[in-house]
């Protein structure tokens, strides 16, 4: 799909989110023991179904909201091009607010202005904090104050945050934008810092750092932002075996039904990243653990795609993904030109 390693990792990260989401959607909410009885070696095909009767390859809220953030970065690139044209004519433009744009696209999704939806229709699946945050944003118009509040620490912003890692080139801007894009729904510090740390891991992988170097950079961000809970979640992932848990059961390491808690999803994703096996085997085992399978699949899939590149994702998985072509085309449009967007 892409011969350039950096481009391959960028596309792999985006498509990894979509793949993990679509694979995991079939088994969402099921516990490990039930999944084992249905699929003794794991679900290895994207078949749709699940509690919301998804078509095979359909985006759930995980991929849909990743798309919302991706489109915000696409708009920023267009805005930068327009500003350059204005500069050539001695005109000045305003700074583009990527968090507000992501919130606006998320409201489009929320209200049905979305591919495959009817205007006014409600999302098939939506997390509680996401719903509260988007309702607040519709009311106030302020993405800095619309979040669901401290104590609401679900994984609904971590699942959508990866475009920031891919299209913002400096650590300072990545941290700022990661936290701002989380804040309009998930402003609990565990969520905002998880997004910043996760995106620094992704950016390091895309830059060609080793897996351990990337994980260490994520921990450094959590520590620099004074959030020991996120640093501890990453460390837990370093000591966890996805393969063992998927084969033997969660035991005491994870509850039988993995929850939507942001730190748990971050731990699982780091453990998946550190698993030396290939993309397919690791992602199948992440989903085998059970519980919040689509979101854990999406978050882990993003890291695995950034690690292994797009060509590591099985073509039989890619071919049915709802937004495959759009994700590739939009990413290519953002990256075209001599430099990556710097914020």
What is the sign, positive or negative, of the torsion defined by CA atoms of 245, 248, 250, 253? negative
CA distances from residue 291 to 28, 30, 119, 207, 243 in whole angstroms, order as listed: 6, 5, 31, 32, 16
Known binding residue 294? Answer is yes
Cα–Cα distance, 260 to 254 (Å, whole number): 12
For residues 11 and 310, the answer to whether their CB atoms sit within 8 Å is yes
Cα–Cα distance, 266 to 250 (Å, whole number): 16
Known binding residue 61? Answer is yes
> For 156-171, b where at least 16 C-beta lie within 10 A, e where not — what string?
bbbbbbbbbbbbbeeb
CA proximity to 73, closest of 338, 337, 332: 332
Q: Provide the 8-state DSSP code for 170.
A: S
Known binding residue 292? Answer is yes
> For 2-34, b where at least 16 C-beta lie within 10 A, e where not — what string?
beeeebbbbbbbbbbbbbbbbbbbbbbebbbee
CA distances from residue 74 to 149, 196, 323 in whole angstroms, order as listed: 29, 20, 15
Cα–Cα distance, 83 to 90 (Å, whole number): 10
Known binding residue 339? Answer is no
- At 296, give phi and psi (nearest 5°): -60, -35
Cα–Cα distance, 66 to 298 (Å, whole number): 10
Instruction: Give binding residues as ranges.
Output: 60-62, 292, 294-295
Instruction: Give binding residues for Mg(2+) as ranges.
Output: 60-62, 292, 294-295
């Amino acid at each position: 799909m892409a011969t350039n390693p950096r481009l391959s990792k960028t596309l792999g990260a985006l498509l990894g989110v979509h793949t993990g989401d679509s694979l995991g959607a079939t088994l969402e909410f099921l516990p490990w023991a039930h999944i084992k009885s249905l699929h003794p070696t794991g679900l290895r095909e994207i078949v749709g179904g699940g509690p919301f009767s998804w078509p095979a390859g359909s985006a759930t809220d995980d991929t849909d909201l990743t798309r919302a953030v991706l489109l915000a970065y696409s708009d920023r690139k267009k805005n930068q091009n327009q500003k350059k044209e204005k500069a050539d004519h001695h005109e000045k433009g305003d700074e583009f607010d990527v968090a507000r744009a992501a919130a606006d696209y998320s409201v489009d999704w929320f209200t049905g202005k979305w591919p495959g939806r009817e205007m006014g229709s409600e999302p098939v699946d939506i997390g509680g904090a996401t719903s509260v945050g988007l309702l607040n944003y519709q009311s106030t118009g302020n993405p800095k104050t619309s979040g669901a509040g401290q104590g609401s620490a679900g994984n609904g912003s971590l699942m959508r945050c990866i475009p920031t890692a891919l299209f913002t080139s400096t650590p300072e801007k990545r941290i700022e934008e990661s936290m701002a894009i989380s804040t309009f729904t998930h402003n609990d510090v565990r969520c905002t810092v998880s997004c910043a740390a996760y995106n620094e891991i992704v950016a390091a992988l895309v830059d060609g750092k080793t897996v351990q170097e990337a994980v260490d950079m994520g921990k450094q961000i959590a520590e620099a932002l004074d959030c020991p809970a996120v640093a501890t979640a990453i460390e837990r992932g370093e000591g966890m075996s996805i393969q063992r848990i998927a084969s033997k059961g969660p035991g005491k390491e994870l509850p039988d039904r993995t929850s939507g808690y942001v730190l748990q999803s971050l731990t699982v994703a780091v453990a998946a990243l550190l698993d030396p096996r290939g993309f397919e085997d690791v992602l199948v085992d992440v989903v085998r653990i059970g519980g919040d399978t689509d979101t854990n699949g999406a978050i882990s899939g993003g890291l695995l795609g950034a690690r292994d590149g797009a060509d590591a994702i099985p073509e039989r998985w890619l071919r049915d993904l709802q937004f495959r072509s759009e994700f590739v085309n939009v990413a290519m449009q953002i990256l075209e030109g001599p430099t990556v967007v710097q914020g």
